[in-house]
Chains A and B, each alone.
Chain A
Amino acid sequence: MDKVLEVSQLSKVYGKGCASCFELTGPEHNTNICPQCGSIIAAHNVSFDLYKGEILGIMGESGSGKSTAVKCLNFDQPPTSGHVTFYDNDKQYDLFAMNAAQQRQLANKRFGMVYQNPHLGLNFDISAGGNIAERLLMSEVKNYAEIRSRASNLLTRTEVLTERMDELPKNFSGGMQQRVQIAKALATNPPLLFLDEVTTGLDLSVQAAILDLILEIQQEQQTSMIVVTHDLGVIRLLAGRTLVMKYGRVIESGLTDQILEDPQHAYTQRLVASAL
């Protein structure tokens, strides 16, 4: 089994921080705001491994730090501290030792990110096909005909009518926008995909279709994925292993069926007991 990602003690603090920040926050203090200096400890000491073809779930309520962790990995925001190694075939990258240009290039070619809000993942001023082309142009593909055919294949793959590829994303339904986002994320065949609440707020039938699509992609291409969600159903369906976060800390991790059937932490027990 090949390791794809090794995350070690990732932390993100908003604010100036002080010596007591980590000591006075966390689940046992019921807060992620430092009482001394008012900084927000969005994530602290998050560590995990991700293997090839594996889907890891990160579960927790709003403000638990689950999105922050993934956004740091995708270079959307710089971490305060921590160390992450990305293994890409025979190459390996120390993510936070790279400069911004290198980071952008790596994320564009080898990572895919799908956000809950399609406005973050798509450029709404250009067409669906144009969004995919933009990503292909930034990597290696420059030929117009090839870009066009790749975009059309990707949209077919994610079940967006190719007749609509020249339309602006704002004309699409929410579910369709998510599909375009997924097509864009998949454009460069990335080995690593981040999915941040991708089905939240969509109709149940659309959710199901998108989750099925995600599973198909994982099976066909052995893509490694990190799925951030507060939805236990999504976790149950997609993730083999799960981390549970609260107030910026990982409070529990394990096999998904174990987390759901034999949760150890009081908070996880309450979360699982609240499932519909």
Chain B
Amino acid sequence: MENSGRIVMNINDKPILRVEGYSKYFELHEQHKVIPSSDDVSLEVFPGKLTALIGPTGAGKSTVLKGIYRTYLPNSGRLLFRTKEDIEIDLAQVDEHQILELRKTEIGFVTQFLHSLPRQSTEDIVAQPLIKRGMDKTQARDLAREMLSAMNLPEALWGISPATFSGGEKQRVNLARGLVSRPRLLLLDEPTASLDPKTTEKIITLIENLKADGVAMLAIFHHPELVERMADNVVQLEPPIRIQKTLKEIA
């Protein structure tokens, strides 16, 4: 894996994540079926850089992110994560308690859809990851409001549940929750899919700022122009059934 020519990378910058030969299939016992989802995917993610995952629907892009987050159990391959103590661990192998701790402190995931309790206010949802880390509730809520304001979400909505929000509003709440805690590695599944161009610009600025702060990102994008603007590396995936080797590089 090489970085694109646009950005000169410090040779000392070690990857925060190295995925080597990750494969995942689903064995459905009731239906007696095996569904292949990701096949032999390899990639690297660096601090302060964004690696984009591209490819058609069914290429297993989300499956790669979920494997890294351990929502899916990989069938083969290594998912090597460099912790803040500079130790490389295999996310596919480490103890569940360690994964839970990493999710709290180092690895964030913004999924495509917002899952929240219908009785929780928007600002509380966004503040949640900070409170889980042990931050004082008032301070966490202040930071949450700051993030919601940076995302252009009308202040009138902060105190109510996102249950009745539009798709774009929900997506901003989801993003705000993912970005507010500034993890070392951020996994983003189509972060701007349902946003208007003006809001998308705001989000791009926020993501660029996080990158400048050293946050490493692995993101799924569908719009080629967003990939062009934001990605430092691009990894192309193809649906696993049709082809032998799934990883191509567009550098």
- Is A51 positioned at the interface, with any CB of B under 8 Å from its CB? yes
In whole angstroms, what is the CA distance A54 to B71 when docked?
A: 18
Whether the Cβ atoms of B100 and A241 lie closer than 8 Å is yes
- Is B82 positioned at the interface, with any CB of A under 8 Å from its CB? no
Whether the Cβ atoms of A262 and B30 lie closer than 8 Å is no
CB-CB contacts below 8 Å: A202-260 with B: 208, 212, 219, 237, 240-241, 254-255, 257-258
**B-side interface mostly:** mixed
Cβ contacts B53-97/A at 8 Å (1 or 0 each): 000000000000010001111000000000000000000000011
In whole angstroms, what is the CA distance A171 to B71 when docked?
A: 45
Chain B proximity of A247: nearest CB distance (Å): 17
- What bracket does the count of chain A residues touching chain B fall in? 20 to 34
Whether the Cβ atoms of B30 and A257 lie closer than 8 Å is no
In whole angstroms, what is the CA distance A241 to B101 when docked?
A: 12
* Inter-chain residue pair count (beta carbon < 8 A): 47
For B70, what are the chain A residues with a Cβ–Cβ distance below 8 Å?
Answer: 255, 258
Whether the Cβ atoms of A258 and B71 lie closer than 8 Å is yes
A51-B97 contact in complex given A254-B73, A258-B71, A258-B73, C-beta closer than 8 Å:
yes
- Is B29 positioned at the interface, with any CB of A under 8 Å from its CB? yes
- B-binding segment of A27-35, A115-123, A131-139, A265-273: A265-273
Whether the Cβ atoms of B66 and A261 lie closer than 8 Å is yes
- Ordered by A's residue number, 23 sampled pairs between the chains whose C-beta atoms are within 8 Å are A1-B97, A1-B101, A51-B97, A54-B100, A208-B117, A208-B119, A212-B119, A237-B117, A240-B100, A241-B96, A241-B97, A241-B100, A255-B70, A255-B96, A257-B71, A258-B70, A258-B72, A258-B73, A261-B72, A262-B73, A264-B27, A269-B29, A269-B30
With A51-B97, A258-B73 given, name 12 new contacts (CB 8 A).
A49-B97, A208-B117, A219-B131, A219-B132, A237-B117, A254-B73, A254-B96, A257-B71, A258-B70, A262-B71, A269-B28, A270-B30
Q: Which residues of A contact B (CB under 8 A)?
A: 1, 49, 51, 54, 208, 212, 219, 237, 240-241, 254-255, 257-258, 261-262, 264-266, 269-270, 273
